[in-house]
């Protein structure tokens, strides 16, 4: 059935900077905020923005991601005309079999999938950002400006700017310059990696790009510069709100802490823009006789008999008597023994920490990832 | 796959929960913060691989419809089998005509249509976890006509009041079915959980109607004790019967204890419910929480002790909540003191600063009430 706008989520990244957390799962499937996975954010945004069909482009360890998103039921994307589809590279008749060579190539290899819905517009998203955005508003902006492509932008601190695409706009918001991950950024208005394209035009650009042997097959490096050179109408859309790229252990930790310290900006309680996720059938959390919980987030299925302060505790974690968990993120199904002390760490899912161990350092600058059992 | 049609039955007049009952049938009562009563029999059935389920309701079906839906959350296959929610569509002149037998009769065609050879009937007001497939196998091995599940309890003087009791012979044959009037300590409490062949079930419905329009299923069983081979099957796990506000409150309270809860919630026997997509619960700097069961979606800024807090509740700064069952989406305002109380859904207590029930007889705050 014809769709006005289709969303394609780029979830191929291996996420090596997340270390052992992404050893068995793709980055978008990493746990966040007590009960969510990172990809719940773009998927919930799609569902809440009225987008019915979402493709998830992945090639690294896609089994867990696939079993997680398949069907789309967790986000309500399972009505007759909607669905979430995991799209790993596949072999096709009369073409060479290739892995996705770049962000643009991932879309090129799925032109047939997109065509089957005959959309007017295609929304390109990244699977590793934490934010809440109404894409319908962005589309309205795109239409108002009669744009060929609209890029969501936001200001970032100069020191972080080199991690992103940096752009220059005129007064009306039209983009006149674009640089992907520059070594020395000149400005600090950055691309969020969220694009709306007119599908007919993008389809042509992708087919051309596919034939170009010098191309990186990347949106930031190839497609956007080509459009600028050709004088296409590229518009920026200024996003105001919380946004975080959780590509590293410390930024993943920070984003979790933002749920405690910046909850006005990243409000998960907001009933008008819920973030959906898989529901585990866990019993409600139990806080024992020795439990003491201060400024923390705790999910269902937990059994807490120790002190938890400034921390995010995920589904079905057990924390023993006299344990102290401080400024830490504990992922699902961990067992923290009696008398354990945790400071400034992320504990990977399913890890066991034996009684009375001290892990992490309250004065450390760094956030440590605990991905092996501590005995 | 279990060769039985699952039936969740509504209770008789022995069950009357002051206040809460005005808003919904017992099947839809909030329980332990995140569940509703019907989650327990339904999860027992789907975990036992029963794939055709009928839920019988007397009235006010709305909350059950919206909670159960297609039954997908209970692992019901949407193509094979499924859940039907049935309620008596002919409104009787008097409430006492509204028996389970009348309801079964009204839906006889759907019962006959079932492809299963047996029926398992379970009440919506009792909490336990049990494998009905094993029960059916035991029933078939015994060669009995009907198997009735019971539990031997030694607190029948104070609990399970007005529940059915079984008088058994040495071979576990049922001699008669009576009522627990609270006169004796030890009783065999009928769990109103029955297994029998579908044909016999249909036959008993018709026979009951011939005897009396006011007969319940348990009445016709009692009458058939001599004629048929009706046997008891002893259950030994956790059991609670919710018959009044006190037993509702006490069942919630005793399940705060993880040891007691582990007898009802077993790892290999999950209790399913409908998700509300609530975020994890947040505790602020001023939170003080001891010995509690707390659901997701809450904001805890005050003090909570020995209590159950339902989904999406707010306990504001300076509030003290003790020995309380707070149903979902309620707000306990600043400096409010609550003790020995059941607060129904979506209530907001802020102006009155002190509400206390007495131990053994909890106070009750109405649904959506502003105090």
pLDDT digits (tens, 9 = 90+) for A361-370: 999 889 999 9
Which of the two residues, A47 and A88, has the higher pLDDT score? A47
Q: Determine whether the interchain pair A281/B270 forms a contact, defined as Cβ–Cβ distance below 8 Å.
A: yes
Nearest-Cα residue of chain B relative to residue A40: B277
Amino acid A162: pLDDT: 66
Question: Which residues on A lie below 8 Å from B72 (Cβ)?
Answer: 73
Nearest-Cα residue of chain A relative to residue B267: A282
Q: Determine whether the interchain pair B289/A287 forms a contact, defined as Cβ–Cβ distance below 8 Å.
A: yes
Q: How far is A234 from chain B (nearest CA, A)?
A: 37
Q: Is A293 on the interface with B (CB under 8 A)?
A: yes
Q: Determine whether the interchain pair B280/A34 forms a contact, defined as Cβ–Cβ distance below 8 Å.
A: yes
Q: Is B281 on the interface with A (CB under 8 A)?
A: yes
Q: Determine whether the interchain pair B265/A288 forms a contact, defined as Cβ–Cβ distance below 8 Å.
A: no
Q: Phi/psi at B180 (nearest 5 deg)?
A: -85, 110
Portion of chain B with pLDDT greater than 90, in percent: 63
Please, which residues bridge with residue B223 across strands?
Answer: none
Nearest-Cα residue of chain A relative to residue B287: A294
Q: Determine whether the interchain pair B281/A263 forms a contact, defined as Cβ–Cβ distance below 8 Å.
A: no
Nearest to A281 among B72, B271, B280 (CB): B271
Q: Determine whether the interchain pair B283/A293 forms a contact, defined as Cβ–Cβ distance below 8 Å.
A: yes
Containing H/E element for A228? helix A224-229
Amino acid A182: pLDDT: 63
Amino acid A352: pLDDT: 94
Amino acid B320: pLDDT: 94
Nearest-Cα residue of chain A relative to residue B270: A281
C-alpha B251/C-alpha B136 separation (Å) is 28
C-alpha A83/C-alpha A66 separation (Å) is 13
Q: Is A72 on the interface with B (CB under 8 A)?
A: no
Containing H/E element for A181? none
Classify the phi-psi angles of A76: left when phi > 0, otherwise alpha if psi is within -120 to 50, otherwise beta: left
Amino acid B363: pLDDT: 86
Best B75, B267, B283 member to test A by mutation, with max A CBs in 10 Å, is B283
**Residues A103-111, mean pLDDT to the nearest whole number:** 90
Amino acid A100: pLDDT: 83
Domains and CATH numbers, chain B: 4-261 (3.90.550.10), 282-365 (2.160.10.10)
Check: CB of residue A334 under 8 Å from CB of residue A349.
Answer: yes
Q: Determine whether the interchain pair B299/A269 forms a contact, defined as Cβ–Cβ distance below 8 Å.
A: yes
Residues in chain B, pLDDT under 70: 78-79, 88-92
pTM recorded for the entire structure: 0.86
Task: List the A358-359 sheet strands across, edge first.
Answer: A292-294, A307-309, A324-326, A341-343, A358-359
DSSP A294-307: ESEEE-TT-EE-SE
A–B interface: beta-carbon pairs under 8 A: 105
The pLDDT tens digits for A183-241 are 665 666 788 889 999 999 999 999 999 888 888 888 888 898 899 999 999 999 999 89
Q: What is the ipTM of this complex?
A: 0.84
In terms of Cβ atoms closer than 10 Å to its own Cβ (0-12, 13-18, 19+), residue B197 is: middle
Q: Determine whether the interchain pair A287/B291 forms a contact, defined as Cβ–Cβ distance below 8 Å.
A: yes
Q: How many CB atoms lie within 10 A of CB A144?
A: 10
The pLDDT tens digits for A151-168 are 999 887 766 666 667 788
The pLDDT tens digits for A7-48 are 999 887 666 666 677 776 777 888 999 999 998 999 999 999
Amino acid B196: pLDDT: 95
Residue of A349, A347, A299 whose CA lies nearest to A323: A347
Amino acid A13: pLDDT: 65
Please, which residues bridge with residue A307 across strands?
Answer: A292, A324
Q: How far is B358 from chain A (nearest CA, A)?
A: 23
pLDDT of residue A113 exceeding 70, the answer is yes
C-alpha B123/C-alpha B58 separation (Å) is 13
Check: CB of residue A332 under 8 Å from CB of residue A313.
Answer: no
Amino acid B71: pLDDT: 79
Q: Phi/psi at B76 (nearest 5 deg)?
A: -85, 125
Q: Is B198 on the interface with A (CB under 8 A)?
A: no
C-alpha B30/C-alpha B239 separation (Å) is 17
Q: Determine whether the interchain pair A269/B292 forms a contact, defined as Cβ–Cβ distance below 8 Å.
A: no
Q: How far is A289 from chain B (nearest CA, A)?
A: 5
Q: Phi/psi at A28 (nearest 5 deg)?
A: -65, -15
Q: Is B30 on the interface with A (CB under 8 A)?
A: no
Output the average pLDDT for chain A: 87
Please, which residues bridge with residue B168 across strands?
Answer: B174
Q: How far is A260 from chain B (nearest CA, A)?
A: 8
Q: How far is A77 from chain B (nearest CA, A)?
A: 14
Helix, strand, or coil (residue B321): strand
């Amino acid at each position: 059935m014809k769709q006005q706008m289709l969303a394609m989520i780029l979830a191929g990244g291996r996420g090596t900077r997340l270390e052992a957390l992404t050893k068995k799962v793709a980055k978008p499937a990493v746990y966040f905020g007590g009960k969510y996975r990172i990809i719940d954010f773009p998927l919930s945004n799609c569902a809440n923005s009225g987008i019915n069909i979402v493709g998830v482009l992945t090639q690294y360890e896609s089994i867990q991601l696939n079993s997680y998103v398949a069907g789309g039921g967790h986000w309500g994307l399972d009505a007759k005309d909607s669905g979430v589809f995991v799209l790993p590279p596949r072999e096709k008749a009369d073409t060479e079999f290739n892995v996705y060579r770049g962000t643009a190539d991932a879309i090129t290899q799925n032109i047939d999938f997109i065509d089957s819905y005959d959309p007017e517009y295609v929304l390109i998203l990244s699977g590793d950002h934490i934010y809440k955005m109404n894409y319908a508003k962005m589309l309205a902006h795109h239409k108002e400006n009669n744009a060929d492509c609209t890029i969501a932008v936001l200001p970032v601190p100069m020191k972080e700017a080199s991690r992103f695409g940096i752009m220059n706009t005129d007064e009306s918001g039209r983009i006149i310059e674009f640089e992907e991950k520059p070594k020395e950024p000149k400005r600090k208005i950055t691309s969020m990696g969220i694009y709306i394209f007119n599908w007919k035009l993008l389809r042509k650009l992708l087919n051309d790009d596919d034939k170009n042997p010098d191309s990186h097959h990347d949106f930031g490096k190839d497609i956007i510069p080509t459009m600028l050179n050709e004088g296409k109408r590229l518009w920026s859309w200024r996003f105001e709100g919380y946004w975080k790229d959780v590509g590293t252990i410390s930024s993943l930790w920070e984003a979790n802490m933002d749920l405690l310290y910046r909850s006005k900006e990243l409000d998960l309680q907001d009933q008008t823009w819920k973030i959906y996720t898989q529901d585990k059938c866990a019993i409600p959390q139990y806080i024992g006789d020795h439990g003491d919980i201060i400024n923390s987030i705790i999910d269902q299925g937990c059994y807490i008999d120790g002190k938890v302060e400034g921390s995010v505790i995920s589904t079905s974690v057990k924390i023993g008597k006299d344990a102290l968990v401080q400024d830490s993120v504990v992922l699902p199904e961990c067992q923290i023994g009696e008398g354990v002390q945790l400071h400034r760490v992320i504990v990977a899912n399913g890890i066991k920490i034996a009684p009375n161990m001290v892990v992490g350092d309250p004065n450390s600058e760094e956030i440590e990832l605990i991905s092996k059992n501590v005995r | 796959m279990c060769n039985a049609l699952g039936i969740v039955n509504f209770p008789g007049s022995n069950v009357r929960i002051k206040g809460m009952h005005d808003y919904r049938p017992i099947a839809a009562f909030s329980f332990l913060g995140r569940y509703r009563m019907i989650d327990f029999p339904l999860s027992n059935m789907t975990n036992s691989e029963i794939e055709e389920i009928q839920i019988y309701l007397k009235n006010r079906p709305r909350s059950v419809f919206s909670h159960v839906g297609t039954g997908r959350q209970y692992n019901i296959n949407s193509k094979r089998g499924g859940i039907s929610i049935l309620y008596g569509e002919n409104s009787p002149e008097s409430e006492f005509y509204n028996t389970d037998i009348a309801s079964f009769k009204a839906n006889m065609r759907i019962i006959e249509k079932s492809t299963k050879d047996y029926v398992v009937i379970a009440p919506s007001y009792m909490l336990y976890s049990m494998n009905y497939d094993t029960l059916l196998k035991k029933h078939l091995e015994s060669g009995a006509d009907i198997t009735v599940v019971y539990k031997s309890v030694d607190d029948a003087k104070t609990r399970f009041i007005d529940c059915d009791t079984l008088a058994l012979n040495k071979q576990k044959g049922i001699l008669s079915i009576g009522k627990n009037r609270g006169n004796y300590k030890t009783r065999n409490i009928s769990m109103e959980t029955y297994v029998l062949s579908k044909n016999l079930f249909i036959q008993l419905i018709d026979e009951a109607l011939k005897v009396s329009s006011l007969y319940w299923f348990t009445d016709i069983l009692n009458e058939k004790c001599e004629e048929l081979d009706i046997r008891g099957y002893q259950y030994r796990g956790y059991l609670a019967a919710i018959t009044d506000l006190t037993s509702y409150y006490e069942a919630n309270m005793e399940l705060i204890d993880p040891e007691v809860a582990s007898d009802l919630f077993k790892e290999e026997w999950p209790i399913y419910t409908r998700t509300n997509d609530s975020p994890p619960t947040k505790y602020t700097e001023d939170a003080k929480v001891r010995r509690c069961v707390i659901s997701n979606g809450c904001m805890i800024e005050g003090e909570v002790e020995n209590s159950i807090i339902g989904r999406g509740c707010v306990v504001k700064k300076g509030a003290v909540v003790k020995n309380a069952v707070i149903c979902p989406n309620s707000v306990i305002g600043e400096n409010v003191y609550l003790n020995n109380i059941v607060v129904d859904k979506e209530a907001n207590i802020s102006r009155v600063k002190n509400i206390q029930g007495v131990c053994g007889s909890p106070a009750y705050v109405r649904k959506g009430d502003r105090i």
